[in-house]
């Protein structure tokens, strides 16, 4: 089928949903994919392009002329078009925008490109249905119908004044049941949730989730209605955020997928590994200072990876809980309460594990009891300190305005390794005396 039969292929794909076409395209090689994209009508291709993964889309767009891309963009909502243009190189962006015939559409896209990708301004679309509060109900019906043609799904009708300031919203039901001579100002609902163009995306997501909204209007600094964000964009945002946090916790600093190039993976992973290596240098140095213990108490060194691993695991657990609490805004109560609780929790865990370690080390592995007791006591201290570091480093970073997600993963593990080893040998030195 891939060879020539245009008509048959078109017929075959006519019934297929754009999201499925996107999946088919991903399976094809580049030439075939470009062929299909060019073959289909632009409305369908535009939607299919949107559904593609970034990497695949990039390669296909490279194969299209600026004019061809512009044609696809004209079929898209402004927010999707802006997202796609943002992926192109600077000069490509300009030539594509110049090729867009519909000047208003192009204007809107350029406006959206100015906003930070993760702010309400970057997430919103310009397409929406709005009416003026001074219009009559009848006059407004006709106007609305015209506007609705450009909007894929009408979630809400927004009411503005003469200066385009957001005043409220209108339910379709109220509009239909209102006497036709009434003015919009008599029937609209003056209470409406909205966000500012600069509201961060996660805040928008939180508001929409909290109030179960399907769309939210976006206003500029002067309260003028400039766009709206729909729930499907927010779902994508939440998913991307979760993926990003997950990767950050694993020590991956760029958004990568399994199928990205080796170079992109290296760029995302290597920096954290270098950080861990530098941390490793410190742990080597710390261990080196306790060289004197090697002759008499060499077995102490056998427990080093165990202590370091426990410190790392406890730190990651504590920081994960705190990070989620910060992200979901569920972290309440004073720092003092948290401190007491975290110490209590880690003492409880620490004592259980220390008893296991002491017994296991002495009777299972056959070390002298003094070793077992030493590592046991050290383990308790290490766990308490590690859980405090894991809990408070994110809280402090957050208070300083730094993304606390940075603090998890390699950073917490590495610093807890070092502190863990230092505490362990200090306690061993105090007990055994070397």
| Interactions with its own copies, residue window 154-183 (CB under 8 A) | none
The residues that bridge with 393 in the sheet, in sequence order, are none
Residue 302 makes contact with its own copies by CB under 8 A? yes
Residues 113, 96 contacting (CB under 8 angstroms): no
What is the per-residue binding string for its own copies in 365-404, x denoting contact by CB under 8 A?
x---------------------------------------
Q: Can you count the helices (H) and strands (E) in the chain?
A: 21, 6
The residues that bridge with 160 in the sheet, in sequence order, are 132, 166
Residue 24 makes contact with its own copies by CB under 8 A? no
What is the per-residue binding string for its own copies in 81-120, x denoting contact by CB under 8 A?
----------------------------------------
Q: Which of 21, 48, 144, 304 binds its own copies (CB under 8 A)?
A: 304
Cα–Cα distance, 200 to 405 (Å, whole number) = 16
Q: Which of 313, 373, 426, 432 binds its own copies (CB under 8 A)?
A: 313
Q: Which of 101, 134, 177, 266 binds its own copies (CB under 8 A)?
A: 266
Q: Which of 2, 8, 14, 53 binds its own copies (CB under 8 A)?
A: 53
Which of 277, 230, 229, 227 has its CA nearest to residue 251?
277
Which of 128, 252 has the CB closer to its own copies?
Answer: 252
Burial of 374 (0-12, 13-18, 19+ CB in 10 A): buried
Cα–Cα distance, 356 to 362 (Å, whole number) = 10
What is the per-residue binding string for its own copies in 329-368, x denoting contact by CB under 8 A?
-xxxx----x--x--xx--xx--xx--xx--xx--xx---
Which of 77, 13, 83 has its CA nearest to residue 52?
83
Residue 229 makes contact with its own copies by CB under 8 A? no
Cα–Cα distance, 214 to 152 (Å, whole number) = 14
Residue 245 makes contact with its own copies by CB under 8 A? yes
Q: Which of 108, 199, 283, 358 binds its own copies (CB under 8 A)?
A: 283
Cα–Cα distance, 355 to 351 (Å, whole number) = 6
Beta carbon of residue 196, minimum distance to its own copies (angstroms, whole number): 19
Residue 238 makes contact with its own copies by CB under 8 A? yes
Burial of 157 (0-12, 13-18, 19+ CB in 10 A): buried
- Choices 91-99, 102-110, 217-225, 240-248; region in contact with its own copies by CB under 8 A: 240-248
Beta carbon of residue 333, minimum distance to its own copies (angstroms, whole number): 7
Residue 422 makes contact with its own copies by CB under 8 A? no
- CB contact set of 374 (below 8 Å; sequence gap of 6+): 300, 427, 428, 431, 432
């Amino acid at each position: 089928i891939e060879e020539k039969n245009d008509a048959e292929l078109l017929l075959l794909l006519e019934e297929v949903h754009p999201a499925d076409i996107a999946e088919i395209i991903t399976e094809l090689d580049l030439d075939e994919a470009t062929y299909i994209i060019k073959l289909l009508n632009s409305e369908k291709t535009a939607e299919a392009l949107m559904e593609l993964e970034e990497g695949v889309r990039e390669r296909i767009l490279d194969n299209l002329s600026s004019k061809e891309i512009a044609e696809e963009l004209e079929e898209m909502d402004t927010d999707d078009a802006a997202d796609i243009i943002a992926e192109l190189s600077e000069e490509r962006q300009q030539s594509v925008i110049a090729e867009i015939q519909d000047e208003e559409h192009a204007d809107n896209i350029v406006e959206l490109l100015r906003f930070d990708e993760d702010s309400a301004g970057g997430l919103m679309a310009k397409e929406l249905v709005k009416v003026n509060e001074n219009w009559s109900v009848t006059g407004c019906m006709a106007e609305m119908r015209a506007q609705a043609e450009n909007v894929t799904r009408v979630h809400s009708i927004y009411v503005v004044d003469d200066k385009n300031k957001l005043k409220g919203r209108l339910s379709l039901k109220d509009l239909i049941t209102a006497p036709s001579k009434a003015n919009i100002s008599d029937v609209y609902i003056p209470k409406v949730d909205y966000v500012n163009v600069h509201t961060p995306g996660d805040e928008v997501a939180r508001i929409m989730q909290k109030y179960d909204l399907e769309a939210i209007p976006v206003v500029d600094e002067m309260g003028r209605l400039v766009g709206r964000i729909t729930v499907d964009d927010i779902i994508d945002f939440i998913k991307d955020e979760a993926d990003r946090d997950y990767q950050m916790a694993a020590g991956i600093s760029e958004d990568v997928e399994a199928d990205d190039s080796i170079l992109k993976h290296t760029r995302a992973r290597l920096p954290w590994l270098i950080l861990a290596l530098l941390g490793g240098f410190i742990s080597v140095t710390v261990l080196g200072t306790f060289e004197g213990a090697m002759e008499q108490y060499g077995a102490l060194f056998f427990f080093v990876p165990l202590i370091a691993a426990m410190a790392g695991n406890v730190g990651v657990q504590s920081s994960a809980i705190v990070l989620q609490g910060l992200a979901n805004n569920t972290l309440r109560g004073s720092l003092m309460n948290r401190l007491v609780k975290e110490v209590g929790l880690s003492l409880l865990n620490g004592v259980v594990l220390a008893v296991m370690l002491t017994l296991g080390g002495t009777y299972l592995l056959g070390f002298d009891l003094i070793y077992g007791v030493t590592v046991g006591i050290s383990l308790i201290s290490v766990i308490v300190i590690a859980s405090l570091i894991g809990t408070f480093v994110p809280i402090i970073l957050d208070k300083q305005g730094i993304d606390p997600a940075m603090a998890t993963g390699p950073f917490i593990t590495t610093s807890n390794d070092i502190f863990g080893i230092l505490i362990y040998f200090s306690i061993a030195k105090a007990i055994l005396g070397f």
